Amino acid sequence: METEVLSALTQFGVAGMVCAMWLVERRASLHREQQINEAHEKLLSQLDDRAALIEVVRDNTRALTMLESGQRGLVDVLAGRGANGSSGA
């Protein structure tokens, strides 16, 4: 804190000292609040990133499931069983 401000507050005795302590605490409290807000914003942005990642995983899983289903159908056709599981004979 500025020397002039501190000396101006302390000239009022105990009341000035309490006021000075309160001002120092408020400044520190505002700094902590700013840090908390920044951390909260960072967490929220990470949640958006995670949601996007989960959506990509879901889409990839859906695509792989469709690919696997198509490959099973192709194997059935090549094995002569047809798409319905019965033999063509």
pLDDT tens by residue, 24-64:
999 999 999 999 999 999 988 888 889 889 999 999 999 99
87 pLDDT more than 80: no
For 77-86, which contacts have Cβ atoms below 8 Å and span 24 or more sequence positions?
Answer: none
pTM: 0.45
Percent of the chain predicted with pLDDT > 70 = 87
**Structural domains in the chain (count):** 1
6 pLDDT more than 90: no
Determine, yes or no, domain membership for 9.
yes
pLDDT tens by residue, 28-38:
999 999 999 99
Range(s) of the domain holding residue 28 = 3-78
Rounded Cα gap, residues 9 and 49, in angstroms: 49
